[in-house]
Chain A
């Protein structure tokens, strides 16, 4: 039981980091990125490929971050001539292209079989300290990024992003370079998410094209919408609620003696219900963003 809780918290923590990354773009800057998982995928694959080539975990993570930031810069450029909604579709396409490449370039990515095994980072420690150390690492990174994105959000950069989101013309009048603001938001978010992807690859000791499915991006969007988009605490609450629901349903099934054929559907249904309920009664999320009202 103890190990299971540790595992649940670890996975929740990793998803939390990815959601924090998405929140930087979607929450503060109002950028509809539907291909966000591409950054995590790059982190995971960079780690897998580097480890397979004999590199160290840190090198893998660093390469992943560099690649993701480069991709972020590219995606942000892509947005120059596209309206927000068209840009969203373009990002979805970028993630799908990456997934297709990952499936087909078997010499590099292991094809559809993916790359395994990738060592967990603390295999040398005796149990259960290896998993605990990993959890501590994940929570440390989560804490650091929570603090960092909170600071970013409360600082000049975050305020500029919010003005851009609400009133792009006003932001331009203030002298902000909108393109540079967008690029920086996407690139920062890419770096954060790539680190999460890298951690995920280590934790699962596996990387595969399924990591890049668009449903993963929408799972992150679900977290944001339930928790409260644009609010760091909202993101964390959303992560806890969604991961909690995912984890609890199998237990609820054993406890309430549901037949196992409905349990799978129940899991999807519960998330859908929470999302619907949030949209109907708490459309800003459970912990809404607090905006200073101008009189």
Chain B
């Protein structure tokens, strides 16, 4: 037993030394972010991390927070709930940050945010669209449109485009299951029919079987959503099988087409959580482009940027980093706050009112329609 104890105490003591040193080193106002820097969604995580870094630069260029330097401690979620929860624990109990933003996948955000809410730490959701986000509790704020609104939007859009009998293709995970079931519900409410519903297993080398199964129901249109790499395969095979004679409509178009060649992607319609809006949005995209040499790859970066800016504004207003004070200030600041994703206002449940959505099409690149 003594050997085990020693082995446990030594790292703990080292951790303590590290932590106290880090605190002594810089006297900055800090908040936290848990992002998927490794794992299946590392591309999104890195994209969002860049937005966070950009926001920190902006805040510091404007004089920081409460007259001090502002900083965001970014932790890796590793794309799994355990690592994310540990990261949140570190941020809440060691770094004692008042606000934590993240994660990407709903399956990770939910347990992590439940922990943060229990600790009284503020959580800001920037990317997860599960409807369960609404019920997280008193210290959780949400900036992005949840899937009930997204499904309503895409179902109404598909109906308006004249589709009546559709095939639905989505990945078999929390996101895909939510979209498939939600879209069907909203579309059937309007009087439409979902002829086939296909939930595919991610990471396959071919989806011909699924596509052929979908085509047998002879739909007027294919409604689909898929992560970049997988939809590259899906789109190519649909093209080869001649399924593209019917219209293709992508839920989250830019995510679905991120890795598909332009000649195959051309002509697809779709929708997206609104990425950026107005002059603020344009300035943000320009700054991102200038710093990293490329535009953001996903729509989530704008929400992360806004979350950091909102937090900085709230801490400035509260003149305190006490979570309760910051939460009260967030509610005040969150009244028509000029974000890069458009004006931000929270309702009584701390959910964003009228989160933006966009109708898009692919014509050489993703453009509004």
Contact = CB atoms under 8 A, between A and B. Distances in A.
Interface string B71-105: 00111101011110111011001100000000000
Interface string A247-277: 1101110110000110111011000000000
A260 B81 contact: no
B173 interface: yes
B336 interface: no
20 contacts: A1-B16, A3-B93, A7-B93, A8-B15, A11-B86, A112-B176, A204-B81, A205-B115, A206-B111, A233-B3, A236-B4, A237-B7, A240-B8, A250-B75, A252-B18, A261-B46, A261-B49, A264-B45, A265-B37, A268-B38
Given A210-B107, A251-B19, A240 B11 contact: yes
Contacts of A204: 81-82, 85, 111
Interface of B: 1, 3-4, 7-8, 10-12, 14-16, 18-19, 21-22, 37-38, 42, 45-46, 49, 73-76, 78, 80-83, 85-87, 89-90, 93-94, 106-107, 110-111, 114-115, 130, 132, 172-178, 199, 201
B22 A251 contact: yes
Contacts of B78: 264, 267
A102 to B, nearest CB: 11
Contacts of A251: 14-15, 18-19, 22, 90, 94
Interface of A: 1-5, 7-9, 11-12, 100, 103-104, 106, 111-114, 116-117, 143, 204-206, 208, 210, 213, 233, 236-237, 240-241, 244, 246-248, 250-252, 254-255, 260-261, 263-265, 267-268
B86 A210 contact: no
Contacts of A113: 106-107, 110, 130, 132, 174, 177-178
B173 A112 contact: yes
Contacts of A260: 37, 49, 73-76
A213 to B, nearest CB: 8
B15 A265 contact: no
Contacts of A103: 172-173
A3 B115 CA distance: 13
A264 B76 contact: yes
A116 B111 contact: yes
Contacts of A112: 107, 172-177
Contact of B89 (A4, A104, A206, A241): A4
A3 B130 CA distance: 30
Contacts, number: 144
Contact of A205 (B16, B114, B199): B114
Contacts of B107: 112-114, 208, 210
Nearest to A265: B38
Contact of A240 (B4, B81, B172, B178): B4
Given A112-B173, A210-B107, 16 more contacts: A1-B19, A3-B93, A9-B8, A103-B173, A113-B106, A113-B174, A114-B174, A205-B114, A236-B3, A236-B4, A246-B86, A248-B18, A255-B22, A264-B37, A265-B37, A265-B38
Contacts of B87: 250
A111 B177 contact: yes
A206 B81 contact: yes
Contacts of B12: 5, 8-9
- 9 tightest A-B CB contacts, nearest first: A264-B76, A244-B11, A264-B37, A260-B74, A206-B111, A240-B7, A112-B174, A264-B38, A251-B18
A112 B202 CA distance: 13
B114 A206 contact: yes
B86 to A, nearest CB: 7
A113 B15 CA distance: 33
Contacts of B177: 106, 111-113
A252 B176 CA distance: 37
B81 A208 contact: yes
A261 B8 CA distance: 28
B114 A247 contact: no
B11 A248 contact: yes
